[in-house]
Every structure is written in structure tokens, then in C-alpha cells.
């Protein structure tokens, strides 16, 4: 084919074009055409004949294309036929023929487009011929026809692109008639750049920018589309991100005065939302335009746009908006050395900025100060020196004045700006001005009561240190900032440390003169890790330098730890991360170990510091195998025994445990007895956070040394002893304890280690020793806490669940938990820890399918624990760990807390000494708090068990228990509000934490229950009742504890509000009432939260018209948190009509009970809530069938009651108001035909 194309060059132009279009518009075709046409020279006949032939071919193809376009049927919206027409075979043949014709036309049209693409490319090659062989005048007619018909090819992107390339090349070569080839091609290229968003298209548009001058921008009608494209360029990220794009936007401003106005307005509209890079680009663009334009356009930029920006920057309502405006103005500020810019800025800013710095509005002062600092120094280039000095003094005076402004935000900007001014202009600022500013900063602002101001002061001084000329003055003043190392704000302490690190690396500065070394060491010992890390970095060159020998570095560190042991230990925690050598630290570890062995020369404080430092070095060094091996050699078994024996405190012993865990020496059996003593000394562990950390270290050591069975055996024995004492002292039935030591023979190492236990650990006395019980019980609670902690670790949990002592420990915890519950309200020393451990162990045993032999013995004991006549719980016989635990815990709890929320005192037959009672019902608040912790622990077990789906068939029992817990909590809140309970502040906080956790657990329990609608429906109306009691608990918290606690509770309640709403309406939503009927929920209307709701609505409806009503209104204001909760409920209910109907009918049905009780104010309040909050417009009642049915009963009843109240004018008026609320609904939906229809339904 290529040969045929080459041969056609020798015949005629028509033959050449005919052959070329047969090749198709492919990449290979383009290359062939280029080679052939570029070989043509002027003497060739084809050079002169090709342009007219090309024109004719282009004209013919365009006409053919137009004919195809005009013959295409106009598509119109089709509507589906009303009846399907049966089609005959004749119709089918006709349709097939029509379809074939359409396809043929489509192929012909595509062929014409491809021919035009080839012709356009041939014209492009003729224009770009390297020797200019073709005449532009001959080519122009064909090229013009392509350009003029560009718009009809809008669906063929390739052809459009080729025509645009041709026109662009014609313009670039400055060929005759180029002005006629831009009216269509230029808008296309502009639109293409905005659509494809490619930088190359922006470059093409910019290279053709001069062509835009030819357009008549005064002709609004014809130029509108092009103007829209140009305005799109102004806000296009591609244009203002590229250099040529920004230049093009600046060029747009010069095309027309109207464009200047519109483009400036467009830029101004983008300022509130633009990013910093975009705003900087806009500023640069406006500056370019300002330099290039003259006359009215320049005046508009200066007096309208820039002046408006300056005023808006001062009066902006938000700091972010003001900052965005200043970013645009920054393009002029950084060009202030350009001729005319300084004068312009002074002329625009001076009249407004000084006045704004002294107005009463702090926001305006804040914005004006920012602008002044950006413009500083604000000068008039035409003014005399005296005027300039006066103007400069005025600016210093205002900055100095604003350093003590009453607004903290203004002071923050003033101190940072003042330091920036001093840094930039120190050499030219008069000394008195410097002195005034620095005096205020160091004497006043470093002691400012605003954290942000103190923080900004430190940052400002750091910035000022960047000017070397300030160092002599600051060397004297910096010690005045030393107290900030003790600032209560962490950000300030971190900032002062950054300042010290900066000062450390400067000549002639000594950081310990800025902040005393004692203060630094104190902060290193006790402060936040962020501060301690920076102090370590500051002190490393002094106390562990890398430039000296390892021996010298270790001696310096020993000097540090002798000076402040705690600080030295903390130093070791961060020294690795701050660049200390690992080899040097390994040597230091050896030095520390050798020092601890010479403990006769060290006191307890230094010994503790040395061991803490060594353990922290271990944590940092054990990751390196070679260093770890060397450390193993350093601490053999004999040394560890001596160190552990010499450790003076439990914390020091725990550090030894950490070292053993980290290094894992081979032979450390001799430490077991000491480590066990540390673990068993746990009587106060539940409230001692430091001891908890120490015990965790001991646990890790036990596991790493394979002593876990021995430790758990010792724990179990103590639990068994305490359980036996509970049996003797309280008459609690004990299970058959299994001697775990008989199950398997101990290994030699185990026997060797166990032989080291004293004889007193092996003996068990059956006699109950009263004086020892409390001490043993306290240790048992500590062991229970440890068991709960051990179950959190996967390795330790596995060890417990596979231990031979598991059953004995479980049974012992069961007995101790029973005593902890039954004696909780009678003894201060009772704890919830055994219950937590018992519940947690039950959960993991159930997950691992571990069952205990003793379950067969537990059922009879549980039956004895519960008197069937006193408890609603029936015994369950399922032989599972979880069922047995549920049964046991519920039974014990019901012995103490009855379902009506009252406390029942049980006189157990025991000679155990208990606190005396005076016969009154007074109970110490601490005991109530402990009981709440127990209830919370059981609720957590319920939720955890249901969450992992192992609590089958226990939902009803759990529901009853949860209801009992809530009533008990509300009962005691009421006693607190009546001053029958007097909590301390700490006790009240603990109680509230239990209330909040319990609320969350019960709400989650409801949520899990509602996910299984079949089970939930069988329990009705229990979910409704439980949700109602949760709302009552919330109202009770606000009523008894106040808004502060209720506001904190609402954050925990908010995620569960949708579930509470669904539970409240579940009796109607689930459509099954096997557990009760809808009438069971009528009494909700007189529960605490609905009664409070009615009061709130009633006082809102009545208004505050008299002193008495004002007092009532103030009472209703106490329930601000309940108002917020109700607002959330209303918002959620209004999004779902079905749920709204199910919940709203509960409010309405209860009104009949309110009418029976003659509580008309209550009825009016509830109706006001329903009609004005839940359903705000009577049109919304249409889909609320349940509520409309309820209204059908309520409205006539209200009318009858109003007529019967002849002697009660107030009550009659209340009922009239209630009727007025329902009347629109009654008339619109329930009167006439609608009423008859509702009656039939």
C-alpha cells in the first residue's frame, strides 16, 4: 500500500489523496505521509496541485458529514406504550432492514470523519514543510473551511484535536490569514485545558495569548461563552499552580475593563475557601496585573480590591479568614521594595490600622495587630525624617501597649510579633524601645495567667535568639524564665526545654544558669516523658559524653545518680534514643551491678536508683544479642541472689525481676522464694498503682523462669485458706477442695524450689482465727486482682487454664466472692476484686470449654444460699461453669439487694466481729460504693458473655438482675439527696464511675438483646421496662447529683440512645406480646423521667408570668441534661415514622391513666411534648396509625372531663389547652369519614 501511495505522487493530487484515505488514520500512516510530503520540492507538480485538491476533498467530506447529521432522526423522549403491540413477521423484516440502514450510515459517517482526519494531517504537514514548499495562500481556503466547521465535529475528539493543532501551528508561523483561524480553535483549546487538566494545554493556551486581543470583549452577547471560559481559568487549580498559567490569568485582566472587575470579584469570592498556595498565587497574579495596567483598571485594583482586602482583614469574623486575606496581601508586602508599592500600602493601611488597634472589639485589635506586624515598619517614603521617627515611635508604642492587652489572643500575637520585630530590626531600633518590650516580656508575660501567652513568650525568645546582636542582653534576662520549667502546662515545659537545647549550642550561654540544675534533675525524675526525654538530651554531653573514655563517662553518670538517684534512673530510660553508645551503656550496666553488690556503702534511696537504672538499661540493650550475652555473664545466679537480698524496697525487688526477665539467666531458682514473697505481699494492691506495676514485673519474671505453677499453687493455697475461714466464720458451704499436689509428681527442679518454702506455708489450720481473717482476706483480694491481670496475657491465661490448681482456685474464689457480696453492706473491708476475678475466670473457662468437677456439689450449696421464699430466682440445673456462676452470683446478690431497691440486712449466724449497728438503717457510703462495684462487675460478666454468645437461655435472668441493679442505684441516689448518705468527694466520684459503667453495660445488654428479635419478643415487656428504668436512672442522677455529673453521664449515654428508643418501643415494633400487652407500658407515663419531662413541658407552655411560676421554672431548669437527652431522642425519632409511632403511642396511652388520677398539668405537659416536639405539624400524623388510634380514645375523654369539672376552673382550663393541642389532629384525621375508617380499622 505504501508503494502505491508513493507511486500516486507521480500521477495526480487526487490520486494521492484517494490512496491516502484508503490507508486509514493510523500511526504508521502518519509516519508514511510525513516522509512522502517532506520529500516534495517546489518544482514538483504536486506542490501546486495538492492544496486545491485538498480543499475540494475537504469541502466534499464536510458536506457529506453535514448531510449525515441532517438526515439523522431527532431523538425525543420516549414513553412506554400503554399496550404491547403484537408484531408480525413483515414488521420484523422492516425493522431489520431499518437497523441495517442505520448501521450503514454510521459506518459511512465514521469513514468521512477518518478521511477528514487524514486531510487535516496532510494540511498540517504542508504547513510545517521544512522547506516551505507549499503556498500559505493556496492552503488557507481548505484550512479555513476546517476551522469554520470545527463546532460540528464536537463529538469527534481526534478530528477536533487535529484541526486545533493545524490552526495553532498556522498562528505560531505567523502565516497570512491567521486572524481567521482563531475564533473557533482558541475557545476549543481553552476548554480542552480546563477539561483534561494537563500542563501542556496550559502552555499551548499561553503561547496563543496574543490571539485573545482580536476578540471584541465589548460585545456581551457574542463573547459570553469565551468570558465564562476565561473566568473558569481564574479558579482553575491547574492555572494558578503553573507559572505560565498565572501569567495567562494576569494577561486576562488586560483584555477588558469588565474582565478586571469580574476576575477580581471571582478572586475575592475564593479567599474564604482557598488553600495557602492558591491564595499566594492570587496575590502574585494581582501584583502582576497592578504593575502592567494603568488608568481605571489600576484604580479599581488599588481603591476597590486592595482597600477592601485591608479593611476585611481587620474586621474579619474569624482568624482563619483574616489570615487568608493577609496571604493575598503578602504578595504586595514582599514586593514593597518595588517602586510605588510602599507608598500604596501606606496610603491604604494608615487611615484604618492605627484606629483599629485601639478599638473596644478585641477581635478587631487582634486582626489589626497581625496586619501591622506584616506591614512593619509602616512608612511613608515621601515623609521627612521627623515624621518617619514619629510614625515609628507610634508603632512601637502600640505594640508595647498591646503586650498587656486584656485579651489573651492579642497578647499572644503581640509577644510573638514584638520578638519578630526585634529579631529583624535590632540594629536600628532605639535602645529605649528594646528595653520596654523586653522588660514587659520577661517580667510580666512569663508570669501571665494564660498558657498560650507563656508558650508564645518562650517561642518568641527562641526566635529572637536568631539575631546574634541580642545575645548579650538575653544572657542577662534568660534566667528570669527559669521558673517555667515548673509550669503546670506541658506545652510550656516542652517549649522551655527547646529553648535550653537551643542555648546549649550557643557560645557564651550556659543552660544551667537559665534553669538551675536541681530543677532540671527534679523535672527529669518526675515530669512527663516528653520533658524528661529533652532533659536527657540536654544532659548527655555533661553526664554521659561520647567524646571521653567509657570509664570517664560511667564516672560522670555515677556522679549524677549519687546526686539524684531517681533522675539518674530516668536518664537511663531515654539515653539510647538520644544517641548514647550501646557499648558504653553495656559497660555502665556492669558498673551499676558492681555498685549494688557493695550495698553496705549505699543507702536505700541510692540502691533503689541504681537498680531502677540497671533495669531500664536492660530494656534498651537486650535487643542486641551480643550485648545481651555479655550482660548474662555479668549477672550470674549468685550475684542476683545477693542483689535481690540487698534490695531495700519492693520497687527495687521488682527492678531485679525486670532484669531477670530481660536477660533470662539460666540458674535463678534461689530467687523464687524472694519473688514469691514480693507477689504475696499484695494486701493493698487494688488501689496502689505503683505496686501494680511492680507485680506485673514479678509476673513476667515468674513466667520467664518457668515458676508459674509454683506461684499459682501458692496463690491457690492462700485462697483456699481464706475460703476455709469464710466457711468457719460465716457459715458458707465449701466445696470439696482437691489436693492438686496429688495429681502429678513434681519434677526435680519443682521439688527443689518448693522445698525452699517455709513450713508455715504448708500448714493449714482448721481453726478460725478472728484476728487474722481481715489480713488474710486483704491478701486474697490482692491475689484475686493478680489472677484477673494474669488472664489478660495470652501466655499466662493459657498457664492458668491448664494448671492443676484451676479447680481449687475457682472454688476458693467462689466462696470468697459469696462472702464479699453478702458482707458488703456490713463491713468496710469487703472488696469487689474477688467477684471480678471469679467472673473473669468463669468467662475464660467457658470460652475454653473447661468444666469443673465441683459443679455437682455447687447446686445444693447454691440452693442453701438462696431462700426460695425471698428471691425471684429459680434454680437452674445446667451443668456448665457459666450457668452455675450466673446462678451463684444472682442468688448472693438477691440476698442483699431486693428487687424493690431496698436493702435487706441478714443476721448470719457467725461469731465474726462486725461493725456495730445502732438499729437504724444507716449504712456507710463506702459500703454502698463497694456494693455498686460488685454489681458493675456482674453486669460486665453478663455483657461479655452475651457478646461472645455463650450465655444461651439466661437472658431473662440477666434482665431481672439488671432491673434490680438499676433500682438499687436509684434507691441509694435518693438516700444521698435526702442526706441519709454522705459521700466524700472521692467516694462520690467512685460511685459515679460505677453508675456510668453500669448504665453502659445495661444499655449494651439491651442492644445485644434487640439484635435477636425472636428472643427479645419472648421477653416482652421486659426490654421496655429496662429501657424505662435506664431513663429513670439518668433523671435520678441529675436530680440527686446535679447537672455536672449528668452532663458527664450524657457522653456515655449518647451512643446508646437509638437502642434505648428501640427497646422502649419494642412492645409495638416486634408485634408480639407473649410477655405482656401494650397496656403494661401505660404506667411509664408516671415514671421519674416522664414526670420530669411533663414538668419541663408544662412550665415551658405556661411561661414565667408570676413569681411562683418563676420559681417553678427555675426548678425545671435543673434538668438541662435531661433536656439535651430528650432533644437527641426527638431528633432520632423524627427520622423514622414507624419507631416514632411505636414510642409516641406509649406517651399517649398513659394519658388515660393521668386523666383517671386528675393530674391535668401532667397530661398537658406530655401532650405538649408529643404535639409540639415529636410531631410538629398535623400533616405528619398521617402515617402514625397507633398514635391516631390512641388519640381517638383520648380526645373524647378530655372533652368529657372538661365538661364535668364545673367547680375546678384551673383544671378545666388545663384540659381546654390539652384539647386545643389535639384538635387539629382530630378534625383532620378522626372526624367524619376518617373517624369511621379508623373505627373500622
Is there a domain that residue 970 lies in? Answer: no
Selection from 536, 456, 449 nearest residue 491 by Cα: 456
Is there a domain that residue 1107 lies in? Answer: yes
For 1117-1127, give one letter per residue: b (16+ CB within 10 A) or e: eebebbeebbe
pLDDT score, position 597: 83
Give the residue ranges of the chain where pLDDT is below 50.
Answer: 73-85, 88, 737-768, 853-879, 899-922, 1072-1078, 1104-1116, 1233-1241
CB 973 within 8 A of CB 932: no
Number of independent structural domains in the chain: 3
Selection from 8, 57, 38 nearest residue 134 by Cα: 38
612, 630, 660 — which closes off a domain? Answer: 660
8-state DSSP, 746: P
Cell of 1171: 404535639
Tell me the β-bridge partners of 310: none
8-state DSSP, 980: S
- How far apart CA 610 and CA 569 sit, in angstroms, is 7
637-646 and 672-680 helices cross at what angle (nearest 10)? 30
Is there a domain that residue 889 lies in? Answer: no
pLDDT score, position 76: 41
Compute, in degrees rounded to 10, the torsion defined by CA atoms 432, 433, 437, 443: 10
Cβ atoms within 10 Å of 923's Cβ, excluding its own? 19
- How far apart CA 588 and CA 546 sit, in angstroms, is 13
Selection from 65, 202, 181, 37 nearest residue 121 by Cα: 37
What sign results for the dihedral spanned by CA atoms 835, 841, 846, 852? Answer: negative
- How far apart CA 1154 and CA 1169 sit, in angstroms, is 15
For 473-504, give one letter per residue: b (16+ CB within 10 A) or e: bbbebbeebbebbebeeeebbbbbbebbeebb
pLDDT score, position 927: 87
8-state DSSP, 975: H
CB 308 within 8 A of CB 355: no
- How far apart CA 18 and CA 8 sit, in angstroms, is 9
Is there a domain that residue 598 lies in? Answer: yes
- How far apart CA 1018 and CA 416 sit, in angstroms, is 68
Maximum CA pair distance of the chain?
Answer: 133
Q: Which helix (H) or strand (E) holds 336?
A: none
Cβ atoms within 10 Å of 597's Cβ, excluding its own? 13
Instruction: Name the 3-class secondary structure at 903.
Output: strand
Instruction: Name the 3-class secondary structure at 897.
Output: strand
627, 660, 693 — which closes off a domain? Answer: 660
Selection from 501, 488, 495 nearest residue 540 by Cα: 501
pLDDT score, position 1095: 87
The alpha-helical segments, DSSP class H, found in 848-953 are: 855-865, 881-896, 925-947
Is there a domain that residue 29 lies in? Answer: yes
- How far apart CA 333 and CA 357 sit, in angstroms, is 20
pLDDT tens digits for 659-701? 888 886 665 666 788 788 888 888 888 888 888 888 888 888 8
What sign results for the dihedral spanned by CA atoms 943, 944, 947, 951? Answer: negative
- How many Cα atoms within 13 Å fall on the side-chain side of residue 466? 12
Task: Give one DSSP letter per residue of 634-661, joined into a string.
Answer: HS-HHHHHHHHHH--SHHHHHHHHHHHH
With 0-12 / 13-18 / 19 or more C-beta atoms within 10 angstroms meaning exposed / middle / buried, residue 1091 is: middle
The alpha-helical segments, DSSP class H, found in 511-666 are: 511-514, 517-526, 529-543, 550-563, 565-574, 582-597, 604-621, 625-634, 637-646, 650-663
Is there a domain that residue 127 lies in? Answer: yes
- How many Cα atoms within 13 Å fall on the side-chain side of residue 473? 18
- How far apart CA 1228 and CA 827 sit, in angstroms, is 65
pLDDT score, position 896: 87
- How far apart CA 972 and CA 902 sit, in angstroms, is 9
Alpha-carbon distance values, 112 to 65, 149, 420, 883 (Å): 7, 14, 71, 84
660, 692, 721 — which closes off a domain? Answer: 660
Is there a domain that residue 604 lies in? Answer: yes
Selection from 257, 323, 269 nearest residue 295 by Cα: 257
CB 122 within 8 A of CB 33: yes
Residue with C-alpha cell 469554520? 148
pLDDT score, position 756: 41
Cβ atoms within 10 Å of 1210's Cβ, excluding its own? 10
* Backbone angle region of 1042, left / alpha / beta, with phi > 0 → left and psi within -120 to 50 → alpha: left
Cell of 237: 487549580
pLDDT tens digits for 1186-1195? 888 888 888 8
Is there a domain that residue 1233 lies in? Answer: yes
CB 286 within 8 A of CB 305: yes
Residue with C-alpha cell 473457662? 845
- How far apart CA 948 and CA 951 sit, in angstroms, is 8
Vertex 793: Cα angle to 791 and 794 (nearest 5): 100
- How many Cα atoms within 13 Å fall on the side-chain side of residue 85? 7
| Domain around 1211 | 1086-1240
Task: Give one DSSP letter per residue of 1084-1117, joined into a string.
Answer: GGGSHHHHHHHHHHHHHHH-S-SHHHHHHHHHHG
Cβ atoms within 10 Å of 121's Cβ, excluding its own? 20
Amino acid at each position: 500500500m505504501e508503494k502505491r501511495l508513493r507511486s500516486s505522487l507521480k500521477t495526480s493530487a487526487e490520486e494521492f489523496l484517494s490512496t491516502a484515505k484508503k490507508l486509514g488514520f493510523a500511526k504508521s500512516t502518519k509516519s508514511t505521509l510525513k516522509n512522502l510530503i517532506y520529500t516534495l520540492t517546489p518544482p514538483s507538480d504536486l506542490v501546486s496541485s495538492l492544496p486545491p485538491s485538498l480543499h475540494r476533498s475537504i469541502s466534499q467530506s464536510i458536506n457529506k458529514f453535514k448531510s449525515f447529521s441532517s438526515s439523522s432522526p431527532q431523538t425525543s423522549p420516549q414513553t412506554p406504550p400503554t399496550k404491547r403491540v403484537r408484531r408480525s413477521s413483515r414488521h420484523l423484516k422492516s425493522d431489520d432492514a431499518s437497523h441495517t440502514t442505520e448501521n450503514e450510515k454510521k459506518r459511512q459517517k465514521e469513514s468521512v470523519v477518518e478521511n477528514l482526519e487524514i486531510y487535516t494531517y496532510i494540511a498540517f504537514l504542508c504547513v510545517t514543510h521544512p522547506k516551505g514548499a507549499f503556498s500559505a495562500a493556496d492552503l488557507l481556503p481548505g484550512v479555513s473551511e476546517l476551522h469554520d466547521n470545527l463546532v460540528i465535529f464536537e463529538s469527534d475528539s481526534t478530528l477536533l484535536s487535529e484541526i486545533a493543532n493545524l490552526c495553532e501551528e498556522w498562528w505560531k508561523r505567523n502565516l497570512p490569514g491567521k486572524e481567521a483561524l482563531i475564533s473557533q480553535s482558541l475557545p476549543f483549546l481553552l476548554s480542552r485545558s480546563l477539561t483534561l487538566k494537563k500542563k501542556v494545554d496550559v502552555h499551548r493556551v499561553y503561547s496563543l495569548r496574543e490571539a485573545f486581543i482580536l476578540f471584541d470583549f465589548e460585545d456581551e452577547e457574542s463573547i459570553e461563552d469565551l468570558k465564562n471560559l476565561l473566568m473558569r481559568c481564574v479558579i482553575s487549580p491547574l492555572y494558578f499552580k503553573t507559572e505560565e498559567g498565572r501569567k495567562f490569568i494576569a494577561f486576562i485582566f488586560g483584555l477588558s475593563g469588565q474582565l478586571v472587575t469580574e476576575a477580581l470579584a471571582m478572586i475575592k469570592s475564593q479567599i474564604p475557601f482557598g488553600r495557602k498556595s492558591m491564595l499566594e498565587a492570587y496575590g502574585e497574579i494581582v501584583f502582576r496585573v497592578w504593575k502592567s495596567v494603568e488608568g481605571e483598571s489600576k484604580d479599581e485594583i488599588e481603591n476597590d480590591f486592595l482597600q477592601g482586602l485591608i479593611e476585611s482583614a481587620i474586621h474579619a469574623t474569624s482568624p482563619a479568614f483574616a489570615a487568608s486575606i493577609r496571604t493575598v496581601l503578602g504578595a504586595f508586602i514582599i514586593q514593597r521594595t518595588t517602586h510605588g508599592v510602599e507608598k500604596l500600602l501606606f496610603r491604604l493601611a494608615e487611615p484604618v490600622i492605627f484606629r483599629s488597634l485601639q478599638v473596644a472589639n478585641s477581635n478587631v485589635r487582634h486582626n489589626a495587630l497581625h496586619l501591622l506586624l506584616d506591614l512593619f515598619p509602616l512608612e511613608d517614603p515621601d515623609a521627612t525624617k521627623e515624621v518617619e521617627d514619629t510614625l515609628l515611635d507610634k508603632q512601637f508604642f502600640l505594640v508595647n501597649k498591646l503586650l498587656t492587652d486584656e485579651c489573651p489572643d492579642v497578647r499572644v500575637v503581640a509577644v510573638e510579633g514584638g520578638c519578630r520585630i526585634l529579631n529583624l530590626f535590632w540594629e536600628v531600633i532605639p535602645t529605649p524601645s528594646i528595653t520596654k518590650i523586653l522588660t514587659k516580656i520577661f517580667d510580666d508575660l512569663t508570669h501571665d495567667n494564660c498558657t498560650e501567652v507563656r508558650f508564645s513568650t518562650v517561642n518568641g525568645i527562641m526566635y529572637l535568639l536568631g539575631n546574634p546582636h541580642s545575645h548579650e542582653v538575653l544572657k542577662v534576662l534568660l534566667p528570669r524564665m527559669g521558673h517555667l520549667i515548673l509550669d503546670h502546662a506541658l506545652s510550656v515545659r516542652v517549649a522551655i526545654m527547646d529553648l535550653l537545647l537551643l542555648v546549649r549550642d550557643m557560645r557564651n550561654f550556659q543552660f544551667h544558669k537559665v534553669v538551675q540544675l536541681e530543677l532540671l534533675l527534679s523535672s527529669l525524675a518526675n515530669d512527663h516523658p516528653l520533658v524528661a526525654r529533652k532533659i536527657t538530651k540536654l544532659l548527655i554531653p555533661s553526664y554521659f559524653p561520647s567524646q571521653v573514655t567509657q570509664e570517664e563517662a560511667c564516672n560522670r553518670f555515677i556522679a549524677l545518680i549519687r546526686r539524684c538517684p531517681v533522675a539518674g534512673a530516668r536518664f537511663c530510660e531515654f539515653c539510647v534514643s538520644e544517641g548514647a553508645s550501646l557499648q558504653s551503656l553495656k559497660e555502665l550496666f556492669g558498673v551499676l551491678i558492681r555498685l549494688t553488690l557493695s550495698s553496705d556503702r549505699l543507702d536505700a534511696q541510692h540502691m533503689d536508683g541504681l537498680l531502677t537504672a540497671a533495669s531500664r538499661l536492660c530494656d534498651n540493650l537486650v535487643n542486641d544479642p551480643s550485648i545481651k550475652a555479655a550482660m548474662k555473664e555479668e549477672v550470674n545466679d549468685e550475684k542476683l541472689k545477693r542483689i535481690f537480698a540487698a534490695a531495700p524496697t519492693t520497687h527495687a525487688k521488682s527492678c531485679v525481676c525486670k532484669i531477670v526477665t530481660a536477660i533470662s539467666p539460666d540458674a535463678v531458682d534461689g530467687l523464687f522464694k524472694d519473688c514469691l514473697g514480693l507477689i504475696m505481699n499484695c494486701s493493698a494492691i487494688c488501689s496502689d498503682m505503683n505496686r501494680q506495676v511492680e507485680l506485673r514485673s514479678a509476673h513476667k519474671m515468674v513466667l520467664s523462669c518457668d515458676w508459674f505453677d509454683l506461684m499459682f499453687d501458692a496463690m491457690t493455697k492462700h485462697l483456699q485458706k481464706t475460703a476455709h475461714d469464710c466457711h468457719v466464720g460465716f457459715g458458707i458451704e465449701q466445696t470439696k477442695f482437691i489436693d492438686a499436689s496429688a495429681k502429678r509428681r513434681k519434677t526435680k527442679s519443682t521439688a527443689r524450689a518448693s522445698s525452699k518454702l517455709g513450713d508455715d506455708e504448708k500448714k493449714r489450720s482448721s481453726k478460725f482465727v478472728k484476728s487474722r481473717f481481715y489480713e488474710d482476706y486483704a491478701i486474697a483480694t490482692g491475689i484475686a486482682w493478680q489472677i484477673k491481670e494474669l488472664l489478660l496475657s495470652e501466655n499466662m491465661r493459657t498457664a492458668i487454664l491448664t494448671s492443676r490448681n484451676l479447680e481449687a482456685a475457682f472454688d476458693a474464689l467462689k466462696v470468697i466472692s459469696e462472702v464479699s457480696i453478702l458482707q458488703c453492706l456490713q463491713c468496710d473491708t469487703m472488696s469487689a476484686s474477688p467477684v471480678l476475678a471469679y467472673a473473669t475466670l468463669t468467662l475464660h473457662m467457658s470460652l475454653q470449654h473447661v468444666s469443673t468437677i465441683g459443679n455437682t456439689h455447687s447446686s445444693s450449696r447454691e440452693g442453701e444460699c438462696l431462700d426460695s421464699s425471698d428471691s425471684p430466682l429459680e434454680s437452674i440445673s445446667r451443668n456448665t461453669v457459666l450457668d452455675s456462676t450466673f446462678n451463684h452470683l444472682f442468688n448472693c446478690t438477691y440476698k442483699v439487694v431486693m428487687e424493690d431497691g431496698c436493702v435487706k440486712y441478714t443476721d448470719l449466724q457467725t461469731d465474726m466481729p462486725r461493725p456495730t449497728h445502732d438499729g437504724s438503717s444507716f449504712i456507710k457510703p463506702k459500703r454502698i460504693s463497694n456494693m455498686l462495684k460488685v454489681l458493675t462487675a456482674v453486669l460486665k460478666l453478663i455483657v461479655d458473655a452475651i457478646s461472645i454468645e455463650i450465655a444461651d437461655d439466661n437472658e431473662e435472668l440477666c434482665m431481672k438482675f439488671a432491673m434490680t441493679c438499676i433500682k438499687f442505684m436509684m434507691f441509694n441516689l435518693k438516700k444521698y439527696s435526702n442526706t441519709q448518705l454522705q459521700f466524700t468527694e472521692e467516694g462520690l466520684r467512685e460511685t459515679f464511675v460505677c453508675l456510668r459503667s453500669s448504665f453502659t453495660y445495661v444499655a449494651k445488654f439491651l442492644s445485644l438483646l434487640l439484635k435477636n428479635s425472636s428472643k427479645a419478643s419472648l421477653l416482652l415487656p421486659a426490654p421496655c421496662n429496662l429501657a424505662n428504668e435506664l431513663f429513670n436512672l439518668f433523671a435520678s442522677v441529675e436530680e440527686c447529683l446535679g447537672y455536672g455529673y449528668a452532663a458527664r453521664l450524657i457522653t456515655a449515654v449518647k451512643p446508646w440512645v437509638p437502642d434505648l428508643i428501640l427497646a422502649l418501643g419494642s412492645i409495638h415494633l416486634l408485634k408480639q406480646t407473649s410477655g405482656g400487652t401494650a397496656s403494661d407500658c401505660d404506667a411509664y407515663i408516671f415514671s421519674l423521667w416522664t414526670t420530669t419531662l411533663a414538668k419541663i413541658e408544662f412550665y415551658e407552655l405556661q411561661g414565667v408570668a408570676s413569681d411562683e411560676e418563676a420559681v417553678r421554672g427555675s426548678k425545671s431548669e435543673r434538668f438541662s441534661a435531661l433536656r439535651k437527652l430528650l432533644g437527641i431522642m426527638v431528633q432520632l425519632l423524627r427520622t423514622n415514622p414507624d419507631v416514632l409511632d411505636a414510642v409516641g403511642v406509649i406517651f399517649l396511652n398513659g394519658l388515660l391513666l393521668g386523666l383517671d388520677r386528675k393530674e391535668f398539668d401532667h397530661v398537658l405537659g406530655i401532650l405538649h411534648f408529643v404535639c409540639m416536639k415529636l410531631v410538629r405539624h398535623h400533616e405528619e400524623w398521617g402515617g402514625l396509625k397507633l398514635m391516631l388510634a390512641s388519640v381517638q380514645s383520648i380526645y373524647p375523654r378530655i372533652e368529657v372531663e372538661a365538661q364535668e369539672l364545673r367547680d375546678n376552673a384551673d383544671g378545666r382550663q388545663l384540659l381546654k389547652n390539652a384539647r386545643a393541642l389535639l384538635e387539629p389532629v382530630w378534625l383532620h384525621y378522626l372526624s367524619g369519614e376518617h373517624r369511621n375508617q379508623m373505627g373500622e380499622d
